[in-house]
Amino acid sequence: MNHQDEKPIIYLIGARGAGKTTVGKPLAQALLYDFIDTDACVTEQCRMSISQLVEQSGWRSFRELESDVLRQVSKPHRLVSTGGGIVMAPENRAFMQSSGKVVYLRASAETLAERLSHTPQAHQRPSLTGKCIVEEMAEVLSKREPLYLECADIVVDATCPVPELISQICTCIHAAV
């Protein structure tokens, strides 16, 4: 076991509203990791909101920048909270799998929609489908769920209480190294 394996990079994957930020920040603290959010890095680098970026340059530009950011931020002792669509690119899945431990925060479309309806400001993104939020999340999940599952080393039920999720993930990470 080399030193890096003792503190593997952790990637949190899952849809918008799965709890990547809510779980990721205290989890990073517990592990003495730095918390990184790829969406925040994208926003910082392009100096505009994701909505504005997509409006001006399209989803493809966002996805390209997101993929660049993923590679830039992947350093030891980091917990990386990723954008919900990061798994769409096969090379991003391969990159995360080969460079760290991937944790999927799994939640149903209903749970995600319910959460997002309570925090619309924090989750403002251009609609992916133009449909109502439950339908949109269901459609998004039907495409992404197999990719999240394929990519994940660890799958947790995102509806568990946050402290429980932290403890489950810590246990799995230690067991896995």
The item of ligand ADP, Mg ion, none sharing an interface with residue 8, based on CB under 5 to 8 Å by kind, is: none
In the list 8, 10, 11, 19, the residue contacting ligand ADP (rule: CB under 6 A) is 19
The item of Mg ion, ligand ADP, none sharing an interface with residue 144, based on CB under 5 to 8 Å by kind, is: none
In the list 16, 78, 106, 144, the residue contacting ligand ADP (rule: CB under 6 A) is 16
Question: Toward ligand ADP, which CB reaches closer, 18 or 65?
Answer: 18
Pair of tokens at residue 93: 């899945």
In the list 7, 10, 17, 21, the residue contacting Mg ion (rule: CB under 5 A) is 21
Contacts of 47 (CB under 8 A, 6+ apart): none
- Neighbouring-strand partners of residue 35: 79
97 and 10 Cβ atoms separated by less than 8 Å: no
Pair of tokens at residue 54: 């997509």
What is the nearest approach in angstroms of Mg ion to the Cβ of residue 79? 12
What is the nearest approach in angstroms of ligand ADP to the Cβ of residue 2? 31
24 is in an annotated binding site: no
Binders of ligand ADP in range 86-115 (CB under 6 A) = 115
Residues that bind ligand ADP (CB under 6 A): 14, 16-23, 115, 118-119, 122, 158, 160-162, 165
